[in-house]
Amino acid sequence: MIIAIDGPSGAGKSTLGKMLAKELNLLYLDTGAMYRGVGLAVLDANVSFEDKARVAEIAENSDIKLIGEPENLQVFLDGKDVSARIRTNEVGQAASIVSAISEVRKILVEHQRNLGKNSPNGAVLDGRDIGSVVFPNADIKFFLTAKPEARARRRYEEDLEKQRATSYEQTFAEIKERDERDVSREDSPLMIAEDAVVIDTSELDLSEVFAQMMQVIQENSAKATSNLT
Ligand code: DC
């Protein structure tokens, strides 16, 4: 089973993706973490984001691994644990910039497809283009969204908890900037796949969103079973 979860930053994709993967015993793939890994590698190499060929070369040669159970997934870049480093706003912006480069997307999309296909029970993937590009035939597609203010508030509270210095205003501005870039890029912009189930999480708590998603999955499985008989 392949479950796609797309949507803008801060809509709850990764928290809910992890919960679903755990509940359904599926692999959880945080595809944003891969773009963040490439963004960090470019920053560390001191390469200009304008130099697309070099950035693509870095994407090709970087060894990015997601290791561990969904609830404590660790991200490794060339053998080093970068789980904390990739979560800064600076790396978030870098990820958004490198993700607009087609060659980078080609490399990461192929990697994501292989990981999803080779997972014995299937996978939950969260990102921006999962239902539209990576797995257009996914069994279930969700598009999670929320008002920018709600998303910025969540990100800000997360940053406070992790003691990452920031302010609400700065987080809000960065979310808006990232949204703008993610929806306006030419290659695989953030969009709602035609057959996606859209959930606005602005006014819902996690357990409510989780319950809605599980209901969709159960209805879908029941339909698939009845189609077989
Ligand atoms: O989900 P996130 O905030 O960790 O993603 C970081 C950036 O990576 C985001 O600005 C857009 C990009 N991204 C993408 O273009 N495609 C994906 N499948 C996942 C993330």
Q: Is the dihedral of CA 163, 167, 170, 176 positive or negative?
A: positive
Structure tokens at 168: 């609400």
Overall domain count for the chain: 1
pLDDT < 70 positions in the chain: 229
- What pLDDT does residue 178 have? 87
178 lines ligand 1 (CB under 6 A): yes
Structure tokens at 72: 């404590």
Task: Write the residue with the smallest CA distance to atom 16 of ligand 1.
Answer: 128
- What pLDDT does residue 21 have? 97
First to last CA, the chain: 19
Mutate-to-test residue for ligand 1 from 38, 112, 113, 128, highest number of ligand atoms within 8 A of CB: 128
Q: Is 210 exposed, middle or buried (0-12, 13-18, 19+ CB in 10 A)?
A: middle
How many whole angstroms from 17 Cα to the centroid of ligand 1?
14
135 lines ligand 1 (CB under 6 A): no
- What pLDDT does residue 214 have? 98
Task: Write the residue with the smallest CA distance to atom 12 of ligand 1.
Answer: 96
39 lines ligand 1 (CB under 6 A): no
92 lines ligand 1 (CB under 6 A): yes
Task: Write the residue with the smallest CA distance to atom 1 of ligand 1.
Answer: 32
Ligand 1 atom with the smallest distance to the CA of 100 is 15
- What pLDDT does residue 19 have? 97
How many whole angstroms from 12 Cα to the centroid of ligand 1?
13
Structure tokens at 117: 């296909």
Q: What is the CATH number of the domain that holds 60?
A: 3.40.50.300
Ligand 1 atom with the smallest distance to the CA of 188 is 15
Mutate-to-test residue for ligand 1 from 5, 38, 96, 103, highest number of ligand atoms within 8 A of CB: 96
- What pLDDT does residue 71 have? 86
Crossing angle of the two packed helices 168-184 and 148-161, in degrees rounded to 10: 120
6 lines ligand 1 (CB under 6 A): no
Domain hosting 81: range is 2-228
- What pLDDT does residue 89 have? 85
